[in-house]
Amino acid sequence: MKLIRYSSIDGNSTGYWGIMALFAGFILAALGSSYYMEHHGHYVTGMTNQIVWGLPHVFAVFLIVAASGALNIASIASVFNKKAYKPLARLSAVLAIALLAGGLMVLVLDLGRPDRLIIAATIYNFKSIFAWNMILYSGFMGIVGVYIWTMMDNSVGKYNRVAGISAFVWRLLLTTGTGSIFGFLVARQGYDAAIMAPMFVIMSFAFGLAIFLLVLMSLYNGTQRELGDAIVLRLRKLLGVFVAAILYFVAVFHLTNLYATEHHGVEAFILRDGGIFTQLFWAQVVVGGLIPLALIYAPMLQKCRKSLGLASVLVVVGGLIQMYVIIIGGQAYPLELFPGMEVSSSFFDGVVNSYSPTLPELMLGLGGVAVSLIAITLAVKALDLLPVSMADAVADPHHKD
C-alpha cells in the first residue's frame, strides 16, 4: 500500500452550505419540538403511562447502537491489523462520535426535564443498567477521542493499537449495555431475553456500517475524489455478512421464545396478531434483510455502487423499523402481572396499549440525525479525515500495476 495522504474538504461550495442549512433547519425544528413538549407536557405526544418510550427513543437508541458499529472500520484496521481499512479509520472514529452525540441529544431533550441529567451524572445506582450506560456513553466519547488523537498525531502514534483495542472493547460493552436495558426488563414479555445483548451488538455492526458506506460514498462523490472498487467490494461483502447475522439472531430470538410457553402470547402478538407491529416486523425482515442481501450478493450488481447505496438505505430503514417493533411493540403488549390468570380492571390490565407518534416526536428524532450529520460535515471540513485518493492503486495492498 502506498503512503496515504489526507486532507480536509474545501466546504465553500453552494451545495455544501445548502446541506448545512438543511441540517440546521432540522435541528431548529427539533429544538422547537422539544420546547413545545416541555412547555405543554408529554400529553401532546403519543406517549402515555403505558408507553413511556416513544418515537424519539427509537431514533436515540438506533443512533447510539449505530455509533458503535460505525467504529467497525477503525477497529478492523487497528485491532485486526487489516491494512486495507486503515485509510478510512479516521472517518470511522469521528462518525462514531457524531452518531453518539446525535443519539444522546435526543435522549436529553426527550426527558421532559433535561436538568435532571445532572442527577443521573452525579448519583449512581449501580444496580441500574441505566446508570451503567451513563458511564459507557461518556467513556466511549473519551476513549474514541484519544483513539482519533493517536491516528492524527504521529508523536503518539505508537499508542494507536492500544487505543484501538480499548475502543473496540468499550464499544462492545456499550452496545451490550444498551441491549441489556431491554434484556434485564423481566416484567416485559417482549424484552426479557439474554440474547438481546449480542443481538444489539450485531445490529450495531450492520447499522453503523450502512451509515458509514452512505457517508463515505456521498463525501467522495461530492468532492470528486476517487474511491476504488477494491475497498467498496470489501465493505459490500462485510455489510452482507452483518445483515445475514441480524436475520439469524432475530430468528433465534423468536424461535427460543416460541419454545417457552410463557412467551407464546407476545410471540403471537408480534408475529401474527399485532396489527401494525406484525406488519412492521415482517417489513423489517423483508426491507431491512432479504432485499439488501439480494442487492449485495446478486452477481450482476457486484460493481454497482447505486445498488450498494440502496441496500445501505434499506438497512438503515429496516433498523429503524426493528427498533420501533422492539421498543414500542414491547411496551404495547400488556404486562402479565398474574400469569395464567384473566385480569380485568379499569387500569388497562390485559389491554394492548395504543400509540400514535406525533409530529414533534418525529422532528425531535430527525433532529438527532441532523446533529450527527452536521457534526461529520463540519469535521471533514475542519480536520484531515479523508484520504485524497482511495483508488485501487493507492489503497489496495494487493493491487498489481
Range scoring the smallest mean pLDDT among 26-30, 129-133, 198-202, 219-223: 129-133
Q: 15 pLDDT exceeds 60? A: yes
**What's the average model confidence in pLDDT over 283-305?**
93
Q: Report CA-CA distances (Å) from 1 to 87, 94, 243, 300, 392.
A: 10, 23, 29, 29, 9
Q: What pLDDT sits at residue 349?
A: 59
Structural domain including 248 reads 6-337+345-391
- Cell output for 156: 503518539
Task: Quote the pLDDT of residue 1.
Answer: 53
List the grid coordinates of 129. Answer: 443498567
Name the residue with higher pLDDT: 184 or 371: 371
Q: What total of structural domains would you count in the chain?
A: 1
| pLDDT tier, 291 (very low <50, low <70, confident <90, very high otherwise) | very high
pLDDT band, residue 207 (cuts 50/70/90): very high
Which CATH number goes with the domain that contains 103?
1.20.1630.10
pLDDT in tens, 122-153: 777 777 777 777 888 889 999 999 999 999 98
Residue 122 grid cell: 452525579
pLDDT classification of 191: cutoffs 50, 70, 90: confident
- Inform me whether the pLDDT recorded for 311 exceeds 60: yes
Output the pLDDT for position 181.
83
Residue 343 — very low, low, confident or very high, per pLDDT cuts 50/70/90? low
pLDDT computed for residue 122 by the predictor: 76
192 pLDDT more than 80: no
Task: List, for residues 29-60, the tens digit of each pLDDT value.
Answer: 999 999 898 888 888 888 888 888 889 999 99
3-state SS string over 101-141?
HHHHHHHHHCCCCHHHHHHHHHCCCCCCHHHHHHHHHHHHH
Give a yes or no: residue 147 inside a domain.
yes
DSSP assignment letter at 270: I
Q: Is 397 a member of any domain?
A: no
Cα dihedral sign, 93-99-101-107: negative
Residue 47 counted as domain residue: yes
pLDDT of residue 112: 65
Helices 129-152 and 89-109, packing angle to 10 deg: 150
Mean pLDDT, range 12-37, rounded to an integer: 92
Is residue 272 included in any domain, yes or no?
Answer: yes
In a domain, 246, yes or no: yes
- Give me the pLDDT at residue 397, please: 62
Is 159 part of any domain? yes
Whether 179 maps to a domain, the answer reads yes
Residue 1 lies in a domain: no
Q: How far apart are CA 312 and CA 209, in angstroms?
A: 8
With cut-offs at 50, 70 and 90, classify the pLDDT of residue 182.
Answer: confident
Quickly state the pLDDT bin for 398 (edges 50, 70, 90). Answer: low
Task: Give residue-wise pLDDT tens across range 228-266.
Answer: 888 999 999 999 999 999 999 999 999 988 887 777 888
Residue with more model confidence, 193 or 57: 57
Band of residue 363 on the pLDDT scale cut at 50, 70, 90: very high
- Quick one: which H or E segment has residue 254? helix 229-259
Question: What is the value of pTM for the model shown?
Answer: 0.92
